[in-house]
Structures are given as structure tokens and as C-alpha cells.
Amino acid sequence: MKAMVLNNFNEKLRLEDIKEKEVKPGYVKLKVKACGVCHTDLKIAGGILPVCKEIQFPHILGHEVSGRVVETAADVTDFKVSDRVVAMFYAGCGDCPACERGEYSLCDNLEYWAGFREWGGYAEKLVLPARALVKLPNTVSYEEGAIVPDAVATAYKAIKRKAMVDKGDSVLIVGAGGVGLHGLQIAKFLGAKVIIVDKDQGHLDKALELGADYALQPDADEIKAAVKEMSPAGKLDSVIDIVGLQESFDYAIDNLKKGGKYIIVGYKPGSRVTFEPLNILLEEISILGSRNCSKQDVEDCLHLMAIAHIHPVIEDVVPLEKVNDVHEDMEKGKIMGRVVLKIPEKT
Ligand SMILES: [Zn+2]
Ligand SMILES: [Zn+2]
């Protein structure tokens, strides 16, 4: 099969012919139809994530995959050839309490980790455990479906299940990239008032188009003023932080109500945040991490997309061979939503 192959960290990907993996028990083979390109791909290609120690070259990136089933192992009964599917990039052991809840991202014994530890979707084919798959509704395209298990469902879990955002809540989303712009739509769908913060004016304009009540530069005074205007108590119910820096932590905590929730969804590798425990305890602030999503979250988001409550923010669809250019644009911060690689049936 053709694939854009990573042969070493910090090298450009190369278009190569590479031998497909065999389908083993419990596994299926997909014809990859679309694969989202994510900032995390840059971190993996740069060798800076802990998982990079486990990568064996040649490696294939790409963890936002949709495709059509072309082969199944004899013991796979949930999926058949020609099914349209999206793949979760974490496939757990299938045998622990987290896996029983479909929370594969919390499994300690991952069987497959597409595009991170094992091969991903920058390729014509992908072989992975059937339990990682979710059926794609007919009204959602492969390109739209591909971005759900990461850019959409990650935001959904953080907002719906961690922050428990409800009608009338005041919510601050820090970061208006792929996750933030989908999170904004989810928070609005749940009936919240939303301030979204980003350094890039283009991202902020897009956020206003998608229904943000306030779209602001990361300026502590402006944020405080907006919070005061937006909520009767002058405080936020929750903050979804997709940036994870000291600056965002500080204005988040400063504006949260008593009992408010601060949800960490994004990070910068190696960054640290300090705080005064007294403030957290006096205000009974909850600080919660939220990692990726469950299988049910993916199904819920696909449903919301199918009935047009979430509009996928896809900036461009480009051929697989162009992925190096996409990575470059991403590094320069030129990309707003997701760029999706389209992998034609015959290349
Ligand atoms: Zn990602
Ligand atoms: Zn498990």
C-alpha cells in the first residue's frame, strides 16, 4: 500500500510503498477514506511525547481515521465488509473496568494506539482492533466523520461529562482551534453562554460566526469585563482550557464561581502551572483532567453531526501526499479548523 511514512523523528514524511499488516483475530482492515491532521502529529513526528520511546520505524502517523471495512477476521461479528466506520485511536485491552465503559483512553494496557504507538491513517489501508470502530451514519461524510473521535468528541466529553455544562451556564473556552471551535458549538447546543479566547483574530472571527457570545484576545481585563456582562453573578460556571498555560490558568481561576470547574484538555509538553492552594480550597474549585473520549461520546457526536447540531470545521481537504505542507502550515499557526487528508480509492 501507499503511505506517508515517518522513518525517523524530525524528518519529512516520505511517500512509500509499504507492506500492509495482516488481519489477526479481533481485527479488521479498513480502506482509509479520510484522515484528520492534528497538532499532536507534529509532537509525535518531533519525538517529544512519552509514547515516542515505544515507536518502531518505519512509522505511520494519523489518528483521526474514517474508512470502509474491506476485510474482517473470522471472529469479528459487529462489522462486515463495506461498513462505513470511524476509528477511535485508543483501542483498550477490552478487559478492564475502563474498557467496559468504552473509556479506552483510560485503559492501562492499550492493545492498539493508532498513529501514536502503532500505525495510523496516513496510508491507504489500516488494520486495527474491531472494538476501536464506530459506525458512521450515512448522512455524515468520511471527511466529517474522521475528525469526530478527536477534535469533536474530546470537546464533548470535557464539556458535557466533565464540566457538566447546562442551560444558562457561563462557560469560558480557552483556545479556538479544532477542539475549541467544536466545543463552542457543543456548549451553545447545551444552552450555555460562551466566551472563547484565542490570540488569532481569524479564529475569533470564525468563533463569532459559530455563535460565540464573546470572542476575545487573551487579555485578563477584557475577559473579566465580559464575564461580568455575561453572567448575573459575574462569575463563570466552568472553564475548558485547551491551551494549558499559566496565563490561562490564572484568568480562569480568577473568574470561576465558588464550586466552579476548571477542565484541562490541552497542554504544552513540559509546561508547568503553579497556584496557591488557599484560593482553590476557599472557592472549592474543581480541577479536572479530560482525556479524549469514550465510544459513547463518539456515537453521540456523530448523531449531533448527522442532525446538524455540530457543523464540522474543516478548513481544507487535501491529498495524502500533501501532508508535509499541512504540517508546515500548522507549525506556522496558519490552520484554523482541521485539514483532512483524502485518500482516493486507487492511488
Ligand atoms: Zn489529535
Ligand atoms: Zn482495558
Q: How far is the CA of 118 from the centre of ligand 2 (A)?
A: 17
Among 105, 122, 197, 119, residue whose Cα is nearest residue 157: 105
Enter the C-alpha cell of residue 104.
479506552
Calculate how far, in angstroms, residue 284's C-alpha sits from the geometric centre of ligand 1: 32
* DSSP conformation letters of 52-110: GGG--SSB----EEEEEEEEE-TT--S--TT-EEEE-SEE--SSSHHHHTT-GGG-SS-
Domain 2-147+312-342 homologous superfamily, CATH: Medium-chain alcohol dehydrogenases, catalytic domain (3.90.180.10)
Ligand 1 midpoint to CA 292 (Å): 9
- The DSSP code for 167 is T
Q: How far, CA to CA in Å, does 165 sit from each of 56, 184, 266, 310?
A: 41, 11, 18, 16
Q: How many angstroms is it from 62 CA to the middle of ligand 2?
A: 22
Q: How far is the CA of 287 from the centre of ligand 1 (A)?
A: 22
- Residue whose entry in the numeric block shows the C-alpha cell 499541512: 326
For 163-218, the pLDDT digits (tens) are: 999 999 999 999 999 899 999 999 999 999 999 999 999 999 999 999 999 999 99
Coil vs helix vs strand at 158: helix
Cα 293 to ligand 2 centre (Å) = 14
The ligand placed nearest to the CA atom of residue 178 is 1
Place of cell 480562569: 252
347 falls in which pLDDT band (50, 70, 90)? very low
**Residue ranges per structural domain of the chain:** 2-147+312-342, 151-289
Residue 246 CB: number of other CB atoms within 10 A?
Answer: 11
Query: Ligand 1 center to residue 278 CA distance, Å?
Result: 35
* Cα(344) to centroid(ligand 1), Å: 22
Asked whether this chain's domains 2-147+312-342 and 151-289 adopt the same fold, the reply is no
pLDDT 10s digits, 292-323: 999 999 999 999 999 988 999 999 999 999 99
Q: Is the pLDDT of residue 34 over 90?
A: yes
Ligand 1: centre distance to CA 63 (Å)? 6
Distance 150 CA to ligand 1 centre (A): 5
Average pLDDT over residues 258-264: 97
pTM of the complete model: 0.93
Ligand lying closest to the C-alpha of residue 152: 1
- Is there a cis peptide before residue 277, judged by omega within 30 degrees of 0? no
Distance in Å, CA 104 to ligand 2 centroid: 6
Count of positions (residues) in the chain: 347
Ligand number, closest to the Cα atom of 90? 2
Distance 236 CA to ligand 2 centre (A): 35
What is the CATH code for 151-289? 3.40.50.720
Q: How far is the CA of 30 from the centre of ligand 1 (A)?
A: 19
70-93 pLDDT tens trace: 999 999 999 999 999 999 999 999
Distance CA 190, CA 254 (A): 24
